[in-house]
């Protein structure tokens, strides 16, 4: 089904982007040209996803069955809300057991996240702050989540190693969040940029999860250092 969607041309969106190219710098024009040619950008317009990143989560979930009806999910770095769109569809899907309560979807970001039916967004919130952790415990059923998702990334500094380190540190902070809200047996999916510190993050995840695997979805651009760790079967660390 996706193959048809991916090959169709979103004419009006492409025309709008072409008009915007006028007066842009060479780098900006290259980015716009890549957007015009990107099948996932076209498909996101067609299917009304807020950005192409939705297809990364769709691909991962189709393969690993991460999201289930009734799950409670926390989406970190949620803006503009494309992953939350996917989660709402999957945890509140129609045709499930009527006795099963609807899922809970909570998105967090320092940026503003436009509202979305079926999701509760905490805009202008820092996922590393204890006050945010407390707010999540209030909003989640029984104060616990089945899954923590993270597609967050720091603002690019232009220094690759520095940016990689900052993202790894952001991901490591999610283990503190997991200790507060993730239920035993829960899962964590987080984006990182491949580099020398990736092993440190993997080792930390392995210390509190039963399994950790590295993923690079097809929707992730081939020239990108972007990867994901999928950690499952959470167990709280021994104090």
Residues 98-109, mean pLDDT to the nearest whole number: 88
Closest CA to 56 of 213, 216, 193: 216
Q: Tell me: the pLDDT tens digits for 55-96?
A: 999 999 999 999 999 999 999 999 999 999 999 999 986 555
SS3 81: coil
- State the average pLDDT over residues 170-185: 96
239 is known as an active-site residue? no
- Domain 54-234 sits in CATH at 3.40.50.150
3-state secondary structure of 185: strand
Residues 6+ apart with CB under 8 A from 239: none
The alpha carbon torsion through 15, 16, 19, 24 (nearest 10 deg) reads: -130
Q: State how far the Cα of 173 lies from the Cα of 192, in Å rounded to an integer.
A: 13
pTM comes to: 0.82
Q: What is the mean pLDDT of residues 4-18?
A: 39
Mean pLDDT to the nearest integer, 4-27: 44
Q: Encode burial over 138-167: b for 16+ CB neighbours within 10 A, e otherwise.
A: ebbeeeebbbbbbbbbeeeeeeeeebbbbb
Flag the least confident range among 9-13, 19-23, 74-78, 83-87. Answer: 9-13
Q: Domain spans of the chain? A: 2-46, 54-234
The whole-number pLDDT of residue 45 equals 77
Instruction: Extract the tokens encoding 90.
Output: 């999957």
Question: Catalytic pick from 191, 200, 216, 236?
Answer: 191
Answer whether 92's CB lies under 8 Å from 103's CB: yes
| 36 pLDDT more than 70 | no
Mean pLDDT is lowest, of 97-101, 183-187, 206-210, for 97-101
The stretch 162-190 carries a mean pLDDT of 96
What is the per-residue pLDDT across 130-166, written as a single tens digit (0 to 9) for each?
999 999 999 999 999 999 999 999 988 888 889 999 9
Beta bridge partners, 122, equal 108
């Amino acid at each position: 089904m996706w193959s048809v969607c991916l090959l169709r041309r979103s004419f009006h969106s492409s025309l709008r982007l072409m008009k915007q190219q006028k007066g842009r710098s060479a780098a900006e024009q290259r980015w716009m040209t890549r957007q015009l040619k990107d099948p996932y950008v076209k498909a996101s317009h067609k299917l009304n996803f807020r950005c192409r990143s939705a297809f990364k989560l769709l691909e991962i979930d189709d393969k690993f069955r991460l999201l289930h009806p009734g799950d409670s999910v926390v989406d970190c770095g949620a803006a503009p809300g494309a992953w939350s769109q996917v989660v709402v569809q999957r945890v509140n899907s129609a045709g499930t057991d009527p006795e099963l309560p609807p899922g809970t979807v909570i998105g967090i970001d320092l940026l503003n996240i436009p509202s979305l039916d079926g999701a509760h967004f905490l805009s202008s919130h820092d996922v590393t702050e204890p006050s945010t952790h407390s707010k999540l415990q209030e909003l989640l059923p029984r104060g616990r989540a089945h899954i923590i998702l993270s597609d967050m990334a720091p603002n690019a500094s232009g220094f690759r190693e520095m940016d990689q380190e900052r993202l790894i540190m952001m991901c490591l902070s999610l283990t503190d969040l997991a200790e507060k809200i993730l239920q035993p047996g829960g899962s964590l999916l987080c984006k990182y940029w491949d580099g020398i510190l990736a092993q440190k993050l993997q080792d930390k995840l392995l210390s509190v999860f039963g399994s950790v695997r590295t993923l690079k979805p097809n929707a992730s651009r081939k020239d990108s250092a972007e990867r994901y760790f999928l950690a499952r079967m959470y167990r709280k660390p021994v104090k």
